């Protein structure tokens, strides 16, 4: 199932073992190399230090929230989370990231994104255009397959335009007959 990134923020984290709420999410940790939400920041009255929940530990995303086995799935951020620390050090955020195409045309900025609730892979980017470009206030929808490169400053995507490969001079009229002299 596809969900918007907003559905992952301020969402209760529920324990399957106790049936109660362990805390709630406050933000996403995104690995830009995989374009995937790898963990979520979690806080709450029972959580006394900055903690995270790996998306691999989420059993289900449902109407009650994110369901995990038990409180042991929520881990404090410390030196033991080496790979996650590396991703967190990147401090990558998709929201407000500039999106340009391969012809250097500015398309807009990311206003939200769609995540697969099973794998937490980011599937679509919702790009808001400037008011001058888009009077109807709708956004562009960009699939992850269109992304060419992700940098600190921008996301570069394949252009939607098709370059002209043939000019009129290269077209041959199949209905014209050539004479034996090479002229018509």
Supply the pLDDT for residue 146: 95
| Token pair 């709630």 in the structure block, residue | 24
For residues 79 and 103, state if they share a domain. Answer: no
DSSP class of residue 144 equals G
Q: Give residue 165's pLDDT band: very low, low, confident or very high (50, 70, 90).
A: low
Residue 78 corresponds to which tokens in the numbers above? 């410390």
Radius of gyration of the chain (CA): 24
**What pTM was computed for the model?**
0.79
CATH of the domain at 138: 2.30.30.240
For residues 38 and 73, state if they share a domain. Answer: yes
The answer to whether residue 169 is domain-embedded is no
110-143 pLDDT tens trace: 999 999 999 999 999 999 987 655 555 567 899 9
The answer to whether residue 184 is domain-embedded is no
Domain that holds residue 36: 2-90
For residues 40 and 80, state if they share a domain. Answer: yes
CA pair distance 56, 149, nearest whole angstrom: 26
Number of helices (H) and strands (E), helices first, in the chain? 1, 14
CA pair distance 126, 104, nearest whole angstrom: 19
Q: Give residue 154's pLDDT band: very low, low, confident or very high (50, 70, 90).
A: very high
Give Cα 28 to chain centroid, integer Å. Answer: 11
pLDDT reading at 179 higher than 90 = no
Residue 7: what are its φ and ψ, rounded to 5°?
A: -75, -10
For residues 104 and 51, state if they share a domain. Answer: no
CB atoms within 10 A of CB 99: 23
Long-range contacts: 118-123, Cβ < 8 Å, 24+? 118/1, 119/36, 120/36, 120/37, 120/38, 120/55, 120/58, 121/34, 121/35, 121/36, 122/30, 122/35, 122/36, 122/37, 122/94, 123/2
């Amino acid at each position: 199932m596809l969900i918007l990134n907003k559905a992952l923020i301020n969402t209760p984290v529920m324990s399957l073992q106790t049936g109660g709420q362990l805390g709630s999410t406050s933000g996403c940790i995104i690995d830009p190399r995989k374009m995937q939400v790898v963990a979520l920041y979690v806080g709450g009255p029972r959580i006394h230090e900055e903690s995270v929940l790996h998306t691999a530990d989420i059993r289900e995303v449902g109407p009650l929230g994110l369901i995990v086995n038990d409180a042991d799935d929520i881990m404090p951020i410390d030196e033991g989370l080496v790979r996650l620390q590396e991703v967190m050090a990147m401090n990558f955020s998709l929201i407000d990231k500039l999106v340009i195409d391969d012809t250097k045309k500015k398309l807009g900025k990311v206003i939200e994104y769609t995540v697969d609730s099973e794998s937490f892979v980011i599937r679509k980017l919702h790009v808001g255009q400037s008011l001058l470009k888009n009077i109807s206030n709708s956004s562009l929808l960009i699939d992850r397959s269109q992304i060419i490169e992700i940098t600190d400053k921008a996301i570069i995507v394949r252009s939607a335009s098709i370059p002209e490969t043939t000019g009129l001079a290269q077209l041959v009229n199949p209905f014209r007959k050539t004479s034996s002299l090479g002229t018509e």
